[in-house]
Amino acid sequence: MAELPDEQLIGLFVEGDNRAFEVIYARYNECVYSYVLSLVKDTDLADDFMQDTYIKVMYNLKHGRYSHLGKLSGWMMSVAHNVVFDYFRSLQAQVPCSRIDDEALLYRSEAIIDDSYIEDNEREERFISLEKAVARLSDEQREVISLHFFNGKSFKDIASHKNISINTALGRMHYAVLNLRKTLGKVAMM
């Protein structure tokens, strides 16, 4: 069964053969897990996200929500990506943001910097560093950061507001986060 192509394995799984999904799992688990771990940098959290990812993958496969047009591994990573970012979006929704304030900025910066180990007296320094790093972004990147993290806008809302595609909004966020990580350096990212 390990030699079968993805499409056949999916067909067998949909028909009720759970061994087919075990083959899919063995085939792609390492790359999907590595991707999730690269996003969250925490093995316990990554394990939780992987469970949610595989539940969604299995459900979507069973209900015919995967098209064979793309690669299965890419689609699974996309599901994992959505699981991770849905979790962080739900955290962001817990903080009301009628205006940008220091507390909200620090809270929302957790998606960019893991500062859980930092003492309170160091948080102010991190906040200032983050503020300076955001100021160095391009106007487009800074605006997407502001709309998403500080105003709680979805990427669909951002795309509509700015009259751009969702992929453009996502791309600007991706590069903004990369630039922030680069600017803030390895010490800030620990």
- What are the pLDDT digits (tens) for 101-139? 443 444 444 444 444 444 555 656 666 777 788 888 888
* Cβ(77)–Cβ(35) below 8 Å: yes
Helix (H, G, I), strand (E, B) or coil at 16: coil
Cβ neighbours of 57 (radius 10 Å): 23
> Which pLDDT belongs to residue 133?
82
pLDDT band (50, 70, 90) for residue 26: very high
> Which pLDDT belongs to residue 93?
55
Going by C-beta distance under 8 Å and a sequence separation of 6 or more, which residues neighbour residue 182?
none
Distance (Å, whole) CA 93 – CA 121: 27
Distance (Å, whole) CA 143 – CA 139: 6
> Which pLDDT belongs to residue 118?
45
Q: Is the pTM of this model over 0.75?
A: no
> Which pLDDT belongs to residue 95?
44
pLDDT band (50, 70, 90) for residue 92: low
Mean pLDDT of 69-73: 82
Helix (H, G, I), strand (E, B) or coil at 149: helix
